[in-house]
Amino acid sequence: MIIKTKALNTSKKEYVDVYYLLSDFLLAFMFFRVILLYRAIINFSVFLDMYSKKVCAAIGFSANTRFAFKCFIKAKPGLTVLIIFTSSVLILAYDLRIFQIPYGVAQNLVEWNGLWDSIWCIIITMTTVGYGDVVPSTPPGRIIAIFTAMWGAFLISLMVLSVGQIFALNEKEEEANEHLKKARVAARAISTFLKMLVVKRRFRVFRQ
């Protein structure tokens, strides 16, 4: 398969021939089978076993993949987000490298020879920073970049949510915090009252 791609540092009418094999596309799509692995982990978790489904049905809703994913985020937010983010970066970076290597060969470029440039491009795109030092130039590479940008928005919001849960106070910590605040308010009230008595006594001595 030959895809016409715009050459670097040339006008819009000049293109180069980028050669792809069918195996390149099959290899790229093969990595997306990791979704099946995620589904297997979720489906065979304790949140979707028979007992969990029975409890959820008794409460009034059906246990599904969305419920199990929420439970994973609630139970282990940091680990869950780290696994999803790391696997997403590696898979998308490798797919991007697959489609950019033929373009690099046609243009005698070395940017895409190693995996690190692809990882850098994926992370910068995923975090919506976009330095532009390493950018995809082929249509399949740009499609991956578009998907990365949209998927990155979801992952960043998931990170914010998980960080908020990590630093959130649990029930006992919240109770201790409320007790400390009330104790400090009471201490300030007593201190203010004592200061008022001292000032009042000094005022009486001054009048005498």
What torsion, rounded to 10 degrees, do the Cα atoms 180, 185, 189, 195 define? Answer: 80
Q: Which residues make beta-bridge pairs with 16?
A: 5
- Structural element, H or E, at residue 37: helix 34-43
CA 84: distance to chain centroid?
Answer: 7
Q: Where are the beta strands (DSSP E) in the chain?
A: 2-6, 15-19
pLDDT digits (tens, 9 = 90+) for 164-190: 777 776 677 677 767 777 777 777 777
Run means of pLDDT, 10 residues per run, the chain, 208 residues = 55 66 81 83 84 84 84 84 90 89 76 82 88 83 91 88 74 71 75 76 62
pLDDT at position 205 is: 56
Q: What is the length of the chain? A: 208
Q: What is the pTM of this model?
A: 0.72
Nearest CA-CA partner of 126 in 137, 118, 114, 116: 118
How many alpha carbons lie under 13 Å from residue 158 in its C-beta half-sphere?
Answer: 23
pLDDT at position 9 is: 45
pLDDT digits (tens, 9 = 90+) for 122-134: 999 998 888 888 8
Q: Are 73 and 158 in contact (CB under 8 A)?
A: yes
